[in-house]
Structure 1
């Protein structure tokens, strides 16, 4: 919950060379002479805290993934248990100080980052909930197509998905080009205007209203599509930070932060269903039974869209005035590469070096959306089995509410386990795909047995609910996370938007296909996408659970410089590479000892650059506390690096600075 900035100092397991490697920074001969034998011991003592943090390395400096399986489990369990104990203690102290403080913490760390997805989930899934109401109130338009064009009625689903695809590609590109903050603001503005269009949708004829409704959904969908890459990248980079150094919070809780934002989509669905039920009861004279008047349907659907419009307008304000640093990590990455605007070179390098990952994220998302939207489209057939011959919309909505509740359980369990290194992203995604395959393939080949014989309907019900649970616990949550996590910062939003757009093609396929096949055939078709998703995940997706995201950025820096073979760190550890990448030899340069040497040089170069920037800006170290590098690391680099002007300046908190100001300390006040 709160980042633990304390790191234990570890001693080097072996005698690492101290002379700068050929691929290290150009620090000149002074550095070689300064790093003498006495300072060598200082380096081993001081640098270990940054290079081998105690949540990823043993006291001997061994990375957790290099341990035998039994020791891996023991080490990671000890780290997780200690972290859980600390978090529970912190929660206890928060409650003791203020019983409502955990609620405000959750609001800041989950509700606010995921507010856009929550509002999007509310509106997006209300379309499927409202269609039965429209069919009952205006059967000549929505059911028999006597007054409305069937193509336009069916276009409600298609144009909504088309708008989302446009938004995912467009805003993903803009989010990397002009920044996360403007992408987030733009999404909120588009969704707000789209909601106004939905509330005010009208026509001189019923068909005219349907056309207006369709295009309002398309416009709203553009904002919805942009929420995917923007929310994922903003939540991830907020967890990671924009500095050069990694954080414990990033390594242990990055996945949880992103999925806590994502699960707000489930709450959006939940509140939409609750509000629709309440509105129908209010405007239909306390009854949910047919027949439904046109007036009650009008009030119900228009007010259901007006309520999220208020929340979306507030979101426009919040993102405009309360999120000034949303693009900080992207700006830092661009500055490091001397890039303004869109980083075309990074995009080319990503397709060259991480093409397999694009197949994994886009392919798995496609397979998942056939399931995810297929599950929603199966809903009417499922309810027809549970409540045969019912004509009440309220019955359908109540069963849907139960299904959303089951889905929320899956969302939360995913958030709880996604950073556990034994479970993790990749295994969760494979398990979710496998279970969805099994839970759909069984009724496919025994449909009459489960759906038509009353004695077995409870089993059919259990399989349907479990498919919702495992879809949220597995691929629906993990695809959202990994599509941002496995790509470099300069093109993270673009890669996520592309993957999400390919996923929505899966939703479009399901929406079109289901219009032409019967219920049992749907069960025959859908399971194989679960099996395909599991295989794509197994072959192409790397497991980034527990991997320091800054280390991935460091690897990409080497790739960008054309020196990929000189990178030896954990980002190319076989555990963190896909099978496809290992077959292609991506992990052959992994070498912890060489990596120690190059990382010291990399840290020194970054520190030197930072000091030079401060002095160029005429910012005195006496008055500019270094909030990133620990004091002993700062002092070690100051002693062993030739930075002009450093000898005259003291870092706050150093012994010299303390001696100089000891006699000038103000007296304590009475």
Structure 2
């Protein structure tokens, strides 16, 4: 352990109060020594962004003290970030924008092109009706079922991609899923750009199946982008701090690229139509103008998809760190079937929350997006195609405001995920209820129709500043790494079933009934969120992994940490299952020190193993202070001969893959690990 000894010597030079002159003895000297020794683990056990100076978790504080702690911590963090941004700006005015690009734009680029391509389908349908009225209007040249199937095939493809790629992400890896998605979307975008036939009905059929292929890639983007953004840069103390304070922002920052994709697409459509229609925006539009417009907007997407595939294949190298670490700790090489079974039995309530809320949300979100021209036609009767697109652009701009407000407040401990989703569902429910009740009165010219337009845009704002952003985040955040992609994909697929529902039903409803139909799903989303969704705001994801290791071992009662704190459990888990009964901060401190000891010993073995042990991101948490603590702690506490107990082995699966340490564990437990 020469390397550890060198670190300790170096640390003593910078900590003279802990050198040989302060050796343990009696009275105040011994007490001072013990206190200084405990301070070595303070950052590892009680990070100041989540704990008070005396080691009290922020959610355990009385309401007034909690308010003061959170306000002070968030104020200090905001000040630190502004100073950091200002420092970057002074060195290079473009550096903050490059940082934003790398952190959020590159991660969410798959969702950008998804928003660009798929949400153009509703806009293009209105253009096709003007250019080919006998196909998309009277259906004399085209089969009505195939025209309607264009939307169905798009959503079915997304569902297939979400289920399949979500499974692959946990089985093969995140990078494989990311590259596969980019390749499938590239192929789909090429097909969409080049599709052609002299027969309109045949063209519609090929167009629909091209959307199905593209949709498979889009479906995979949801679990892959979500888990990639969730698991990025969480190694080490700095990464762990960012994970606790800004994890939601990191995910929503990538997700809101979907909104930018929609905005860019609407702008490209407007510009292209004016160019190819000789600057005139008056219908009818010729087939040649329509063909050129839709091919140019899809062709631009091909270029972005080509770059995206290259970037993910050659530049993304850290996507699999967390899933590989989880597999090593759980001693699995393929898909973790055991965790999947436990997901269905132990976390089924969370699946109801994430899948049910996503289903309810997509009835609103996709219903109003796929049928955006219909809804805008309701609030602006007789509007031309270009006017409809202009109104849609306004609606998208309002939606972006909702995205960015969610981006700013998603990690606020006063508001957080669960409250944000409930408030968003409540506003959508009441807006649609009001619109349905006063439908005829609101369509009168003047102030009433202006109020109707405001309500439609306002519902889009609350949809983004609420369930649309939150459902994307919590679908992965509520579950452990080994099955995170699967759970996210399943939840997203249930959401797309909600998207499929209005595309089928709205064809058979009058305009007023569309509002009556969508309105109850706001209440459904509010209900499943209130009952089954835990609030993971501020929760360290490493604590969730600690709890999950105990669950996998069949001993959830041996976990006593903050993952089962009442603040981070759903109403169902807290009141019905009473999972917080094992929460014990004092015992958890002992457990965490035991786990740090196992991690420390494993770290020494990995560092000194001549054959080279597998990299474990947990080793990055072994600081010089932690090394010093364990080098000094055992002689001081006279626990040199202390054996690692069976409980510590269960909670300390950190080193299960390292042969030397595994042999030591087997020997200490009489051959049972």
Q: Are the aligned partners of 2:162 and 2:222 in contact in 1 as well (CA < 8 Å)?
A: yes
- 1:431 aligns with 423
- 1:658 aligns with none
Unaligned 5+ segments in structure 1 are 1-35, 621-625, 644-670
| d(CA) in 1 for partners of 2:371, 2:202 | 29
1:108 alignment partner, one of 102, 109, 122: 102
| Pairwise CA distance, 1:394 | 0.8
1:212 aligns with 2:200: no
1:129 aligns with 2:130: no
| d(CA) in 2 for partners of 1:589, 1:627 | 29
1:237 aligns with 2:270: no
| d(CA) in 2 for partners of 1:403, 1:164 | 24
- 1:94 aligns with 88
2:75 alignment partner, one of 51, 73, 81: 81
| Pairwise CA distance, 1:444 | 0.5
- 1:180 aligns with 174
- 2:604 aligns with 611
Give the TM-score normalised by structure 1: 0.88
Q: State the SS of the aligned residue for 1:544.
A: coil
| Pairwise CA distance, 1:307 | 0.3
1:561 alignment partner, one of 553, 558, 563: 553
2:284 alignment partner, one of 291, 297, 305: 291
Q: How do 1:15-34 and structure 2 match up within 5 A?
A: none
Q: Are the aligned partners of 1:57 and 1:63 in contact in 2 as well (CA < 8 Å)?
A: yes
1:257 aligns with 2:250: yes
Residue deviations 1:330-368 (CA, integer Å, cap 9, x gap): 101101111111111111111111110000000000000
1:543 aligns with 2:535: yes
| d(CA) in 2 for partners of 1:113, 1:205 | 40
- 1:388 aligns with 381
- 2:490 aligns with 498
Give the TM-score normalised by structure 2: 0.87
Q: Are the aligned partners of 1:239 and 1:254 in contact in 2 as well (CA < 8 Å)?
A: no
| d(CA) in 1 for partners of 2:380, 2:359 | 32
Q: Are the aligned partners of 1:120 and 1:224 in contact in 2 as well (CA < 8 Å)?
A: yes
Q: State the SS of the aligned residue for 1:183.
A: helix
1:325 aligns with 2:318: yes
Unaligned 5+ segments in structure 2 are 1-29, 614-618, 635-639, 642-673
Q: State the SS of the aligned residue for 1:90.
A: helix
| d(CA) in 1 for partners of 2:162, 2:114 | 13
Q: Are the aligned partners of 1:172 and 1:226 in contact in 2 as well (CA < 8 Å)?
A: yes
- 1:65 aligns with 59
| Pairwise CA distance, 1:604 | 1.0
- 2:502 aligns with 510
Residue deviations 1:371-430 (CA, integer Å, cap 9, x gap): 10122245334322443323x311111110000000000000000000000010000000
The CA RMSD over aligned residues, in Å, is 1.8
Deviates more, 1:603-612 or 1:372-381: 372-381
Q: How do 1:305-320 and structure 2 match up within 5 A?
A: 305-320=298-313
| d(CA) in 2 for partners of 1:608, 1:246 | 22
Q: State the SS of the aligned residue for 2:298.
A: helix
Residue deviations 1:124-156 (CA, integer Å, cap 9, x gap): 101111001111101111111101111100000
- 1:525 aligns with 517
Q: Are the aligned partners of 2:354 and 2:471 in contact in 1 as well (CA < 8 Å)?
A: yes
Q: How many residues align?
A: 602
- 2:666 aligns with none
Q: State the SS of the aligned residue for 1:587.
A: helix
- 2:23 aligns with none
Residue deviations 1:82-108 (CA, integer Å, cap 9, x gap): 000011111111111101111101100
1:150 alignment partner, one of 137, 144, 153: 144
| Pairwise CA distance, 1:615 | 2.1
- 1:467 aligns with 459
| Pairwise CA distance, 1:443 | 1.3
